[in-house]
Chain A
Amino acid sequence: MVLQGGGVELLGGAMFLGALVLIFTGYPVAFALGGVALIFGAVGIAIGEFDLRFVGSLPQRIFGIMSNYTLLAIPYFIFLGLILEKSKLAEQLLDTVGQLFGPVRGGVAIAVVLVGTLLAATTGVVAATVVAMGLISLPVMLKYGYSKPLATGVIAASGTLGQIIPPSIVLVVLGDQLGVSVGDLFLGALIPGLMLSGALVLLVALVALVRPKMAPALPPEARPYKGWELWRRALVAMVPPVLLILFVLGSIFFGIATPTEAGAVGSVAALIMAAFYRRLSWKVFRDAVVETARFTSMVIFILIGATAFSLIFRGLEGDKLVKDVLVALPGGEIGFIVFVMVLVFILGFFIDFFEIAFIIVPLVLPAAEAIWRAQAEALQMAGNYDLSTEAFVQGKLLWFGIILAMNLQTSFLTPPFGFALFYLRGVAPPEVKTTDMYRGVIPFIAVQVLVLIITIAFPALSSWLPSLRGTPGG
C-alpha cells in the first residue's frame, strides 16, 4: 500500500467540498455521493496514493446493507405510515386533535411532536420515522396554513426523536464503540429523550405565542364542532391511531415482536383497522405498496452512495485528517467534554452520525478513559475505598454515550448533510423548498443544544434509570 502522509489527507478534505458542491447542483444525493467517491478515488489512483483494489470492498459493504436486519424497519414503518396516510386515519387524528386545540395556536404542531414521540418509541430508524411523520402530518399542517419552515422543522425534529428515545440504532452503535451495555444506554437515554420531546413542545408553544402567523389557530369554519360533540369526535378519531401505536409498542413490550418486526405487525394491524373503518380501498392499498417500494429504494440508495463515499474517504486517509484536528486535546474533564462536543457538533454539519461514531469515538475513547481512571484513583486516595475504578469509568462512559447520542441527534438535522432533511425532502411536495427546511430546523437545533447542555450538566438525568435496574426477577 502506497499511502503516505501529507497530501492524501487533504484530498480527503477536498472530498467533502466536492460532495457539497455536487449535492447543491441538485443532482440526486445518492449518485452525487457515489460519483464524488469515484472521482476522488480516480484522482488518488492517478497520483499513486490510492489502491484501486480497495474499492473492491464496496460490494461487501453493499451486501452488509442488504443483510442488515435492522434496516428492514425502514420499509415496514414506511408502509405503516402510508396506510395511515392514504386511508386518512392519520389526517383525521391530527385534524380533530387540531380542532381540540383549535383555539390554541400551534395545536397541530404539538400533536405532531406527541405522535412523533410515540412513534420514536417503536423504532430507532430515523429514515422510517421521518418519512412516516412527513407523510402523515405535513399535508395537514400545510392545509391549516402553518408556515413551511415551522411545519418541516417540527417534523424533522420529531421524526429524529426516534434515535434518542429507545430503541435506537445510534445507541446500539455507540454501545458497541464505547463498550457500554446497550441496555443501560437505552434506559439512560429515556429521560433525556423525553425531556427533548417536552422541549420541542415548549418551543412550538413559544413560536405560536410570538409569531402567531406561523402556527395559526384553526379558523372557525375549520372547527364545525363545539363542546361535547367535538370531544366525542376527537376521542373517536383518536381510537384507531392510538390503538395502533399501543399495539406496536405492546408487541415489543410483551416480547411478541422485535422492534424491527413491530413495523410489520403494525402494518398488518393498520390494514385491518383501515378495513374496519371502511377506509381500505384497492387504491389505498396499491398506492401504499407502490410508494413503499419507491421510498425504500430511494432511502437505501442514499446509504449506498454514503457507504461508497466513506470507503473512499477512509482510503484517502480522511480519518487521519480528523485525527490531526484532535491532536492537542485540552486537559481536564470539562475541557475535554466541551472540545469533543463542539467537534462532533461541527462534524455533524458535514458527515453522518455513523461515520462520526466510527471516527471520533475510537479517537477520544482512550483520552476519556484516562481522565476518568485518574479521577477514580484520586477519589480512592481521598478515602473513598468503596469505589471501584471500573464501575466509575463505566458510569462515566454511559453518560458520555448518551450526551454523544444527543449531540449526534443534531447531526441528522444540521444542513447541508442532515439525513433527516434528505428523507423529508423525499416526501415533501415541491412547493416546500429545501431552503424552507433549512430555515425551519434552526430553532429546533438550538433547543436540542440547550437540552444537551442540561444533560451534560446533570448526569443524574441519564444515570438514574440504569442504576435502578438490577438482575431481572425471572
Chain B
Amino acid sequence: MQFLLAISRLIDTVNEWVGRVVLWLVVPMVAIGAYNAIGRSLDKSVGTRLASNTYFELQWYIFSLIFLLMVGYVLKHDGHIRVDVVYARLDERGRAWVNMLGSILFLVPFALVLFYVTLPLVSFSVQVREMSLDAGGLPRWPLKLMLLPAFILLALQGLSEFVKNLAFLRGVLPRLPHEAKGEVA
C-alpha cells in the first residue's frame, strides 16, 4: 500500500505542476481573442494586416490545450461537477466507495479507451504532417498530438484517486484527500 501511495503522490505532483503551468495559458488566450477583434478593426486604418487566421486558430489551439491538459489537475482538486443529491448525504466512507469504484470502473477505462481510439488518428496526422486547410492556418498535427498526454494524465490521476480512496477505506490514510484539505473547487 505504501508503494502504491508513493506512486499516487508522484502522479499528484505531476498533475499539480502540469496544471499550474498550463493554467497561465488563459492569459495569452484572452489577449489573442481581444487582439483578433481589435486587429481586424484597425487593419484598414493601419494599412498592414494585423488580423489573420493564424491568430484566429491560435486562440482555439490554446483553449484546447487548457481544457485538455488541466483535466488531471481538476480531478486532483475534486473540481469536476457532481450531482450531490445522494453524495452529500453519504458519510466519508460512502464517498470514498463512490470515488474508488467510479475511478476504476468508469474514469480509468474511459480515459484508456479514449487513448486507444485516438492513437491511430494522431499517428496518421503526424505522419502526413497535417495542416489547416485555411489560409494562414496552423499545423494541425501538434494539436492532435496533445490529445494523448491529456488522456494519460487523466487515466493516471484516476489511478491515483483510486489508490487514495482505497487507502482511506483500509485505514492507511486517516482522511479523504479532498476533505482533509477542505477543498472546494
Contacts and interface: CB of A to CB of B under 8 A. Distances in A.
A411 B41 CA distance: 38
Interface in B1-34: 19, 22-27, 29-34
Given A27-B106, A66-B64, A290-B23, A256 B95 contact: no
B34 A75 contact: no
Contact of A429 (B74, B83, B88, B184): B184
A298 interface: yes
Interface residues of A, dominant DSSP: helix
B99 interface: yes
Nearest to A23: B83
B80 A301 contact: yes
A297 interface: yes
A25 interface: yes
A284 interface: no
B184 to A, nearest CB: 6
A67 B26 contact: no
Interface string B142-172: 0110010000000000000000000000000
A64 to B, nearest CB: 11
A59 B22 contact: no
A31 B63 contact: no
A34 B27 CA distance: 30
Given A38-B110, A38-B113, A75-B66, A24 B37 contact: no
A26 B98 contact: yes
Interface in A256-290: 256-258, 260-265, 267-268, 289-290
Contact of A28 (B23, B36, B82, B90): B82
A292 B34 CA distance: 16
Contact of B30 (A251, A264, A290, A422): A264
Contacts of A35: 102, 105-107, 109-110
Contacts of B73: 294, 297
A59 B110 CA distance: 12
B34 A264 contact: yes
A30 interface: yes
A75 B106 contact: no
B83 A422 contact: yes
A62 B37 contact: no
Contacts of A438: 85
Contacts of A265: 33-34, 37-38
B86 A26 contact: yes
A297 B150 CA distance: 11
Contacts of A105: none
B64 to A, nearest CB: 4
Given A289-B24, A296-B63, A62 B147 contact: yes
A294 B37 contact: no
Nearest to B65: A66
A293 B81 contact: no
B84 interface: yes
A429 B122 CA distance: 40
A308 B110 contact: yes
Interface in A104-130: none
Interface in A325-340: none
Nearest to A62: B147
Interface in A197-236: none
A218 B1 CA distance: 55
A37 B80 CA distance: 18
Given A32-B106, A38-B110, A72-B60, A425 B83 contact: yes
Nearest to B71: A297
How big is the A interface, by class? 35 or more
B54 interface: no
A300 interface: yes
Contact of A24 (B71, B85, B95): B85
A296 B38 CA distance: 24
A32 B102 CA distance: 8
Contacts of A71: 63
B103 to A, nearest CB: 8
A298 B34 CA distance: 24
A219 B152 CA distance: 53
B185 A434 contact: no
A34 B103 CA distance: 12
Nearest to A32: B106
Interface string A25-53: 11111111011111100000000000000
A23 B83 CA distance: 6
Contacts of B77: 294
A460 to B, nearest CB: 36
Which of A23, A262, A264, A434 has the most chain B CB atoms closer than 10 A to its own CB?
Answer: A264
Given A30-B80, A38-B110, 12 more contacts: A25-B98, A26-B83, A26-B90, A28-B102, A29-B83, A58-B117, A79-B26, A260-B33, A264-B37, A268-B34, A293-B26, A297-B66
24 contacts: A25-B87, A26-B83, A26-B86, A27-B98, A28-B80, A29-B82, A31-B102, A31-B106, A35-B109, A56-B120, A58-B113, A59-B114, A59-B117, A59-B118, A66-B68, A75-B63, A257-B37, A264-B33, A293-B19, A296-B67, A296-B70, A422-B81, A425-B81, A429-B184
Interface of B: 19, 22-27, 29-34, 36-38, 40-41, 59-60, 63-64, 66-68, 70-71, 73-75, 77, 79-88, 90, 95, 98-99, 102, 105-107, 109-110, 113-114, 117-118, 120-122, 143-144, 147, 184-185
Q: Which A-B residue pairs are the 9 nearest by beta carbons?
A: A26-B87, A35-B106, A264-B33, A28-B80, A293-B23, A27-B102, A257-B37, A297-B70, A34-B110
